[in-house]
Structure 1
Amino acid sequence: MLHCGASWGNLPSSWTADANGPSSKYEPSRTRGKGSRRPINGFLNLEGRIGCHEVRTRCVLFTGEYEHTIDAKHRVAIPSEIRSRLDPECHGVAFYLAPGTDASLWLWPEKTFEKLASTSEQSLLPDEDLAEFEELLYSQSAWVEPDKSGRIRIPERLLTLAGLESNVVILGVKDHLELRDPVAWSRRRDEKLAKQSEIVMRARRAQDRQRNHGGD
């Protein structure tokens, strides 16, 4: 996970890559400047200092689709490929399951979710729209801990909210996972692939707006 506002393409200059750790693997980049390095298998070791906080974390990029079943006790297994890449010290031992958009559930490593929550500005008189969002998000979220088989139990209210029954598709979406109904996702995915060029252009414009806003 990338924390403290860092991103894959824009790391603070004070951070250095540690290529000697047991979990860091590097190879020369074919697309970047001479001597640059890029992560293999989605991992990157970062070490640096931001303010008074020492940062040392392993970045994990969630990708892919995984089809699983939900058992009679509302349990679903987190894919072993994903579990094996998480570091308890960096990401925690559990997850937060939160209502997502368009009939989905979002699954965040607990320390990532808590860090995102801590970045929200605190106020006795919060913005009305933000207060409404946070009331819904946090009241409906659930802390879930995998059992020895790597399964989490989904609360019934969240199953109903997402329209999930016995089958589920788990999507890797950068820094979190999404749980969706497989049939609905197949239809949604096909619709988005048909508009891929348009979606890419909108994403580029959104990135430009973020960069311009950051320079203000």
Structure 2
Amino acid sequence: MFRGISSINLDDKGRLAIPTKYREELVECCDRQLIVTVAVDERCNGEPGCLWLYPLPEWEKVEKTIKALPTLNKMADKLRRFVIGNASECEMDNQGRLLLPERLRRYAKMDKKIFLVGQLSKFEIWNEDAWTAKENEWLNGDDDEGLEALGPITF
């Protein structure tokens, strides 16, 4: 399970260093094999907000789910084109570094400072400005769309 927020700097080659606390788990669960793709549900002020980073076994579940969607459904087609089409294989090196493809870095406007956000079975990768804006939006907003559908939640 991946949880917490880590502030990370991309190096000049576009690599991020996975925080030490996650490295052993990533070696065990996916032998350093990860998939990075665009996030379809997180935008901030109309701009791309983040990327998704999956350990390979978790990504294979996503692929299986998307593959099972109806072939003549427009939203399913969008998911296949956008999420699957932009997916890139990434391997974490022995120093815990991961090269983000240039195309995806450009898409999410990632140049130096980023945030790695644990999301249980995957990570979100945000550029600093988008994360800050989205965090302010969440903190200052009153958006509770879908809350009732979740039913009673106790923490």
What's the TM-score, normalizing by structure 1?
0.60
Match of 2:57 among 99, 105, 111: 111
RMSD: 2.1
Q: What pairs with 1:42-191 in structure 2 (closer than 5 Å)?
A: 60=1, 62-86=2-26, 88=28, 90-100=29-39, 101-102=42-43, 103=48, 104-122=50-68, 125-191=71-137
SS at match of 1:140: coil
Q: 1:155 to 1:205 in 2, by over 3 A?
A: same
Please tell me the residue identity of whatever aligns with 2:111: E
User: 1:205 Cα shift?
Assistant: 1.4
Tell me the amino acid that sits aligned with residue 207 of structure 1: L
Aligned residues: 144
Point out 4+ residue stretches in structure 1 off by more than 2 angstroms. 84-88, 90-93, 119-126, 201-204
Q: In structure 2, the residue corresponding to 1:119 is in which secondary structure?
A: helix
Q: Could you tell me which amino acid in structure 1 is paired with residue 85 of structure 2?
A: S
- The percentage of counterpart residues that share the same residue type is 24
CA distance in 1, matches of 2:146, 2:120: 15
Quick check: 2:3–2:117 contact (8 Å CA) kept in 1? Answer: yes
More helix by share: 2
Listed as ranges, the gaps of 5+ residues in structure 2 are none
TM norm structure 2: 0.81
**Relative contact order (alpha carbons < 8 A, sep ≥ 6): 1 or 2 greater?**
2
The residue type equivalent to 1:162 in the other structure is A
Maintained 8 Å contact 2:36/2:53:
yes
User: Residues of 2 paired with 1:81 and 1:71: CA distance?
Assistant: 20
